[in-house]
Structure 1
Amino acid sequence: MEKSISELMISKQAKRVFSEMGIERISQLQKYNWDSIDTDGSVPVECFIRAVEELMKKGFLPIPDSEVLICKSGLSTRVCNMLRSKRMLFLSHLSRYSEDEVRKFYYFGEKSFKELSGVCRRYNIQFKHGKEMEFQRKLKDMSRKQNTEISRETYNTLVEAEITDLSELSEGTVDNICRDKEIDRDCLINALDELMKKGIIPIPDNEVPLCNAGLSVKLNNILKRRKILYLSQLTRYSKEDILRFRDLGKISYEELEAACSRLGITIESNAKYREFARSLGLPPSYTRCFFDNQISSIECFRNKTAADLFELCGGEYSRAMRLYYLLVERGIALERPDSEKVFLFEILPSSQAFKALKKGRIKTTADAAFFAEAGLLKIGLSKKSIQKLLSQRDDI
Structure 2
Amino acid sequence: MKIQDLNISSDSKSALKSIGLTMVSELAGQNYITLINKFPKNYNIEPLINELNALGYLLPPSNEISIYDVPMSKRLQNALIRNGVMYLSQLSSYSKEDILHFRNLGEKTILELEQICQEYNIEIRSMLSIREYFDKYRFPSKIYPMLFQNNISCIDDFKHMTTNDLYLICQNDYSLTMQTYFILKENGIVFDDWQDKFIFEVLPKKNAALLWKKHKIYMLSQIPDCNEYILKESLSSSNSFAAAMKELLSIE
For normalisation by structure 1, the TM-score amounts to 0.45
Residue 336 (str. 1) matches residue 193 (str. 2): yes
The letter for the 1-side match of 2:67 is: L
**TM-superposed deviation, 1:253:** 1.1
Identity across aligned pairs (percent)?
A: 34
- Does 1:173 find its partner at 2:28? no
Specify whether residues 357 and 234 from structure 1 end up closer, same or farther in structure 2 by C-alpha distance, changes over 3 A only.
same
1:101 alignment counterpart: none
Specify the SS of the correspondent of 1:326: helix
| Candidates 167, 181, 200, aligned match of 1:345 | 200
Aligned-residue offset at 1:172: 5.6
Does residue 1:207 correspond to 2:67, yes or no?
no
Is the Cα contact below 8 Å between 2:170 and 2:176 reproduced in 1? yes
Q: Which residue of 2 aligns with 1:296?
A: 153
Aligned pair partner of 2:172 in 300, 315, 322: 315
2:211 is aligned to 356
Q: Distance in 2 between matches of 1:191 and 1:348?
A: 49
d(CA) in 1 for partners of 2:136 and 2:148? 15
Residue deviations 1:309-337 (CA, integer Å, cap 9, x gap): 10111111000101111111112111123
- Partner AA of 1:187 in structure 2: P
Letter in 1 for 2:204: P
Q: Any conservation in 2 of the 1:342–1:365 contact (CA below 8 Å)?
A: yes
* Distance change (3 Å), C-alpha of 1:266 and 1:233: same
CA distance in 1, matches of 2:124, 2:76: 16
**In the TM superposition, what is the alpha-carbon distance from 1:207 to its structure 2 partner?**
2.3
Query: Against the structure 1 CA distance between its residues 254 and 382, is the aligned structure 2 distance closer, same or farther, given a 3 Å change threshold?
Result: farther
Aligned to 1:275: 132
Distance 1:217 1:205 in 2: 25
Greater C-alpha radius of gyration:
1
How far has the Cα of 1:218 moved from its partner?
0.7
Q: Structure 2 stretches of 5 or more lacking a match?
A: 8-28, 37-43, 54-59
Q: Is the 8 A contact 2:32 2:61 kept in 1?
A: no
> Structure 1 172/335 Cα, relative in aligned 2: closer, same or farther at 3 Å?
closer
Residue 218 of structure 1 pairs with residue 78 of structure 2: no
CA distance in 1, matches of 2:131, 2:83: 23
Name the Cα RMSD after superposition: 3.8
Contact 2:207–2:241 under 8 Å retained in 1: no
Counterpart pick for 1:367 among 222, 233, 239: 222
- 2-side partners of 1:385 and 1:299: how far apart? 40
Which residue pairs with 1:241 in the alignment? 98
Q: Distance in 1 between matches of 2:33 and 2:187?
A: 39
CA contact (8 A) 1:189 1:227 kept: no
Q: Deviations over 1:63-111 (max 9, x none)?
A: xxxxxxxxxxxxxxxxxxxxxxxxxxxxxxxxx9xxxxxxxxxxxxxxx
Q: Distance in 2 between matches of 1:327 and 1:232?
A: 31
1:285 and 2:145 aligned: no
Q: Distance in 2 between matches of 1:342 and 1:186?
A: 40
Contact 2:140 2:180 in 1 (8 A): no
User: 1:189 touches 1:224 (CA, 8 Å); kept in 2?
Assistant: no
Q: Distance in 1 between matches of 2:138 and 2:150?
A: 19
Q: 2:87 aligns to what?
A: 230
Question: 1:186 maps to what in 2?
Answer: 46
Q: Secondary structure at the match of 2:141?
A: coil
In 2, the alpha carbon distance for the partners of 1:383 and 1:205 equals: 54
Q: 1:172 to 1:313 in 2, by over 3 A?
A: closer
Residues 35-64 of structure 1, C-alpha deviation per residue, up to 9 Å, x if partnerless?
x9xxxxxxxxxxxxxxxxxxxxxxxxxxxx
